[in-house]
Chain A
């Protein structure tokens, strides 16, 4: 059997201005623009990568962070394989809002087993000198909320960005293997969901 490329949908969520678009652009185009416009509406970029022998195309979705745009943002949560909860280490409020983002995602993505869904938490803007959120606080939150992997990133310096996305992919693949193991006979679902159909080959 030959390995096929899986398409994984990853969504970046977090307050306005924490650097969601910058993280996405750094990862996909390896560029950083300090003066990037704030996102209006919804955008996405694709990125091919290989993780542990799996060929994966990441489809990374980026949304406008303001509360007002919720109704036009949330429909895109469906079908996500992973959610990157993002805050900025120099903005305590964005850290405090992580829980709200998680709730919003679980509700609108219609996640069946929220406690098993792969979230990854990113503390961005590691490059700034004045931190408002310590690494310990963030780690503690991650631990208490479901043992999520936590990465301190800098889209500006390219610190930890690729690693975080790769970890996200690993989490999803691990989930899939378990799911396939548990429900091996769900062929209809396999047919409808390309991800499940393609990751069984290793």
Chain B
């Protein structure tokens, strides 16, 4: 509940270019640097960030299926040293973010990867970030497209480069939207002597102006319009008064006419029967309520594992060594993007850790044959046959629909006829042949999409997906047993961690945690930005620091939301809505930090209930193999957990009579 850094991406637009020919040293003439521009809210301070994108993200560059892939064939690809080239250009993807941080005025300096990769260095130097409060003006120019010139206040940063920031060219549009977004945090007004120049007032000053003033500022005239269209989005930022007004209005109608949700809840209880049984039949329950967990340790995250470090963990024949350490590093910081393509194959279990390079090549050859054999099976089904095969027909129809609705704003899948879409489709169809009983279930395209994006190869993506599905299979089965088990386990953990909150949810008929359904079904795929999903998944796949770490991730997010939920006295529907609307507003590093802290907190508890130990796999661990970093473990402290129970009780007393039995049970 302590205030922590909250980072929200408020605006993001790809296809923003720097023309490096304008570079003074003239070395890189004609080089167009493509990148993405973001507005990020870090703890209420607004930053503009630009980072170059790597060309390997461009789907036209990847290995892909030909239009007619009905025969087993090699994929169209560039000749020669393509793979080498790919690796080299990819290195920089993650390090660029480090460079962003290094140039940043307020963030920590960072050395990871610096100097090791020339190419990345060349590109990374185009990355920049600045706080909006350091911005003096923006000059808007047109040259068939719009480009923007940023001028910073002279005094804002002693460390800023002496040369001005490069102009940003919006070859794919988006400059108006960018300025629109910026207007939410700063007042932009035309300079009296230059109509192309917008003077920027700091956010505080802008806020102190009346809201009407901002709306009437019609130089670009879009704030007003946008506000009317979508008050929710527009007011997310700084206009807190207006936000409150809207929320109040919203809540007003809700409160008056809330339909009793217990009907729905009762039914969900039947669907997930374990939750009800828990309360009544588990004899250890009262013991759980009295356990004191002690303070939650603060942990820090680290830098992503670099390509260099990855190579250091390989012996001359290509076997991975010091795997425990390697996993620990990945858990603490994730992977640089360049390493992902190889490392994910190990993390997912497609490649055995102790295999040699030769063995892996042989494995890939076999797996390639196997893949295309299965692909041929559905490819060779005639229309006649399909007419008599309703299951295959249904799978195909659903896959076609969902492929068109999966990550379509990601460059890898955007536009019509993008090869990424064909691959997504073909792999899912082939998976149906691999596991016809399961076939295709909605959500699976979400699980495949990031894997394919990272692998950039049909066969590897398929087998990595197979491995991931081995973990997730139960979620998608007919009875959805995996979902039920996870919801029960999550409920058990939450009860241990935060009884008051758990009781509150119970009192609102939400104790079965249905609102976490989407989180669990597709492992937060819809909750986080695409890049953050990659980070979370690789961290999870290390299997550290305990089994079912993703449930602690749930607990971490809920911990951050509980105050809001309880203070606002959210009911069944509002909790569901609130949790649904967290999507894309979560900060992955903060969540991982908190989740790791929770894992340490639980681990250091002496009288842990059996059920909790089982969920987190503490029993099955070999003694001495404690994977947590001793450096980040706190010294044992006397139990001093902040007791939020009083808060919970207050709410419980206010709830309706239908909950009387539940209130009684906590007292």
| A contacts, CB < 8 Å to B | 4-7, 9, 16-17, 29-31, 34-38, 40-44, 46, 48, 57, 59, 64, 66, 68-69, 71-72, 74-76, 78-79, 93, 108, 192-195, 198
Contact = CB atoms under 8 A, between A and B. Distances in A.
A5 B267 contact: no
Nearest to A48: B253
Contacts of B406: 37-38
Nearest to A75: B267
Contact of B442 (A40, A59, A93): A40
Interface in B398-418: 398, 401-402, 404-406, 408-409, 414
Given A37-B405, A74-B267, A43 B442 contact: no
Contacts of B480: 68-69, 71-72
Contacts of A64: 442
A74 B268 CA distance: 9
A77 to B, nearest CB: 9
A139 to B, nearest CB: 25
Given A40-B521, A44-B577, A72-B514, A7 B526 contact: no
B517 interface: yes
Nearest to A76: B264
B401 A75 contact: no
A72 B479 CA distance: 10
Interface stretch (B31-39, B96-104, B189-197, B254-262): B254-262
Contact of B264 (A31, A78, A195): A78
Given A37-B405, A68-B441, A194-B259, A93 B267 contact: no
B476 A40 contact: no
A17 B401 contact: yes
A68 B476 CA distance: 8
Contact of B256 (A34, A69, A194): A194
A168 to B, nearest CB: 17
A176 to B, nearest CB: 14
| List of 8 A-B pairs having minimum Cβ-Cβ separation, nearest first | A35-B408, A75-B267, A17-B401, A7-B257, A194-B257, A41-B517, A78-B263, A41-B518
Contacts of B580: 41, 43
Given A9-B259, A68-B478, A40 B522 contact: yes
A66 B476 CA distance: 11
B177 to A, nearest CB: 14
Contacts of A30: 229
Nearest to B250: A46
Contacts of A192: 260
Interface in B467-482: 476, 478-480
A38 B405 contact: yes
A128 to B, nearest CB: 13
Given A16-B401, A75-B268, A7 B253 contact: yes
Given A29-B230, A40-B442, A75-B271, A93 B514 contact: no
Nearest to B581: A43
A16 B253 contact: no
A9 B264 CA distance: 13
B260 A35 contact: no
A52 to B, nearest CB: 19
A5 B257 contact: yes
B256 A5 contact: yes
A200 to B, nearest CB: 14
B522 A71 contact: no
21 contacts: A7-B256, A16-B398, A17-B398, A31-B230, A35-B405, A35-B408, A35-B414, A36-B405, A37-B446, A38-B405, A38-B406, A40-B442, A41-B521, A44-B577, A57-B257, A59-B573, A72-B268, A72-B480, A72-B517, A75-B270, A79-B259
Main SS class of interface, B? helix
A78 B267 contact: yes
Interface size class of B (residues with CB under 8 A): 35 or more
Interface string B428-465: 00000000000001110010000000000000000000
B343 interface: no
A196 to B, nearest CB: 11
A125 to B, nearest CB: 12
Given A40-B517, A57-B257, 17 more contacts: A4-B256, A7-B258, A31-B229, A31-B230, A37-B406, A38-B405, A40-B442, A40-B521, A42-B517, A42-B576, A48-B253, A64-B442, A72-B480, A75-B264, A75-B268, A108-B267, A192-B260
B397 interface: yes
Contacts of A34: 408
Nearest to B483: A72
Nearest to B229: A30
A72 B398 CA distance: 19
A101 B410 CA distance: 34
A79 B257 contact: no
Greatest chain A CB density within 10 A among B259, B476, B518 is at B259
Contacts of B522: 40
Interface in B511-554: 514, 517-518, 521-522, 526
B541 to A, nearest CB: 21
Contact of A71 (B230, B271, B526): B271
A43 B483 CA distance: 18
A69 B442 contact: yes
A66 B405 contact: no
Nearest to A192: B260
A79 B577 contact: no
Contacts of A43: 577, 580
A13 B32 CA distance: 48
Contacts of B476: 68
